[in-house]
Each structure stands twice: as structure tokens, then as C-alpha cells.
Amino acid sequence: MIHVSETFALHTVQDFLTDQERAQLNKICDNELPPAARGGDLARHERAPESAQTVLQAAFERALPAIRQVLPAMAAAAPWEYAELRAGDLVPVHIDGISDVHRRPRRIGRVSVVVQAAQEGGEFYVATSSSPALWRADGEVGEREGFAPGMRLTRGEQPHLLHGASPHAGTGWAEELPKTHWYTDARPGVAVAYGAQLMHGVTPVTRGVLRKFVTDLLDAPAA
């Protein structure tokens, strides 16, 4: 059963990647990703190569007990994606959301891990708000769908990475909400796990290149 608290969770796994694994993943980024995925006119989000999937899945399996402390309904991870942000790139504040409450497995969270930090900028942050505009008007689920009774659902939006955008660029309603930002200082190799209904984003990269891998955290498939 999925509880609202885990869909708003924020947690870190400090030893998610070893230094050797991080070096291996950076080498994969250098040698196995096509040029378009390593920069160009737009920040990119790509499915990670199979060699990277193997490294990341092994790390994820080691971290399962730690992640389940705050996301107990989580059972598996989706295939990993690679994101690269260069100077001018950002991820606007947004909520990934729970796309389909009836179709299992459902996304209940996300986890990201940086393998190369930008020299300046590119900070991951979460945002909180008590605004009623955060919530879907028809968004209430319960035990029949596999959620805690009376659980409410937020609105959701999934923007693409933005290139060369203003630091205040947004994707609509989430940007307009009154909210408080909470910035993280997670170093490369530390996994940041966060609930699917938690607002979050990445500040503009102003110098250097940010490399990170991201995946969905899923509940168990239907029996």
C-alpha cells in the first residue's frame, strides 16, 4: 500500500556509487554516448547504455534497504536515463506525478545520482508549498487502487531540460505557486531519492558540465 508520505519523501544514500563505479560511468559517458547526447543545441535526456545500466542496477540493489526506509512500497527501478546539462541548461521546478494510479507498476518516486558535478550551478533542489493549487481537484484514491485511504494526488508535469533559459524559466503552474526552495549539497556518487509528488528542479548550470543518471522507483507489478 502506497502512503502519501512516501510520495513526498526525500532521502539520500551516501555510498550509492563507489569512486571506481563513478569513474567507470564517466568513461562510459565519454566513449559510448553519441555526440548528440553529450551536448549540442539542447540539453539531453537519453536512455543510458547497457554497460551503464549494469553498473547502476548493481548499485541500486545494494541500496535497496536504505531506500526502502522512506519508500517502503518501492519494489524495483525502471531503466536508467542519462542527463547532461551544460552552461545555460536547467530543469524547471516541476512534479513528476503518479501518471496512472490503476496500472501497475506505478511510479512512486525517482532517484538521481550525479557522476560529474558542474563547476558552478546545477544544484538539485526540492520545493514545498501549502497552496491548494498543488492538488488535483479530482485526485483522491484509496485502498481499492492500492493507496492509503483518502490519499490525495498532486497535479503533475514533466518538462524537458531547458537550454539557455532564464534562471526564472518555468513550465507553468508550478513556477507560479508560492513556495520554499530547499537546496541540496549532495556530492557526486550520492543518490538522492525523492517522492513522485515532490516539487523539484535543477538550478542553471553556469560553468562546466553536469552529468547525472536518473530512474523511476516503482511499486510491485499487479499479481
pLDDT at 195: 96
Hey, which bits of the chain come out as E strands? 10-13, 44-47, 76-77, 81-85, 91-94, 107-116, 120-121, 124-128, 135-141, 151-154, 180-183, 191-195, 199-202, 205-207, 210-218
Give pTM, 2 decimals.
Answer: 0.90
124-128 vs 180-183, strand pairing mode? antiparallel
φ, ψ dihedrals at 24, nearest 5°: -65, -40
65-69, 161-165, 211-215: range with lowest mean pLDDT: 161-165
Q: Counting beta carbons within 10 angstroms of the beta carbon of residue 51, is it exposed (0 to 12), middle (13 to 18) or buried (19 or more)?
A: middle
Mean pLDDT, residues 31-47: 68
Residues 6+ apart with CB under 8 A from 30: none
**pLDDT tens string 117-163:** 999 999 999 999 999 999 988 777 888 888 898 888 998 765 555 65
Q: Among 167, 168, 171, 175, which Cα is nearest to 204's?
A: 167
pLDDT digits 0-9 by tens, 171-212: 578 888 999 999 999 999 999 999 999 999 999 999 999 999
Q: Measured between alpha carbons, how far is 161 from 23 in angstroms, rounded to an integer?
A: 25
Give per-residue pLDDT as tens, 85-119.
999 899 999 999 887 888 889 999 999 999 999 99
Rounded to an integer, the average pLDDT of 63-77 is 95
Three-class SS state of 95 = coil
Using CA atoms, how far apart are residues 97 and 159, in angstroms rounded to an integer?
A: 12
Compute the distance between CA of residue 49 and CA of residue 183 in angstroms, rounded to an integer.
30
